Amino acid sequence: MLVQGDEAIDELVLGAFSEANQVMKEAPLLIVICARQDDDLTVGGKPYFLFDAGLAVENLLLAATDLGLVTHPMLRFDESEVKRILEIPTEYRVVLATPLAYPAEPSYDEAAEEKLRERTRKDLGEITHYGKWGSLGLA
């Protein structure tokens, strides 16, 4: 679902998103990802509609980045308020929202690189199990 226009974006962000996500008001377009369980498979008791929505979001984010656009998935929102404001039917789940915008500053690439350098990641050997659960480390 696409939300455009200052008034519509303000109503949605102010009414349903956390204080930390108020920066979304600066974007010219918000993309709200919705999914319905009945539209997808359930295999072995596991519904796949959220997984498939996540795959679609990944492709959206990669394509937007390739076009030089800025996105950032937002998860902290009141789902019932998003559904009320946007008149989304009850059988749909609001998975996430992401702003879509051009970088605010030309130095966006530098700022992004700096943020990435600040991140710490666990070593693959700490999180990969081999053969049986609990067998950590490289095989």
What pTM was computed for the model?
Answer: 0.80
Cα–Cα separations (whole angstroms), residue 135 to 16, 124, 126: 43, 13, 10
Structural domain spans, the chain: 2-127
* pLDDT tens digits along 8-65: 999 999 999 999 888 899 999 999 999 999 999 999 999 999 999 999 999 999 999 9
Assign domain 2-127 to its CATH architecture. 3-Layer(aba) Sandwich (3.40)
Instruction: Give Cα 14 to chain centroid, integer Å.
Output: 18
What are the pLDDT digits (tens) for 110-124? 766 776 777 788 888
In this structure, which amino acid lies at residue 139? Answer: A
CA distance 63 to 69: 9
Region class of 21: left (phi > 0), else alpha (psi between -120 and 50), else beta: alpha
Contact 11, 84 (CB under 8 A): no
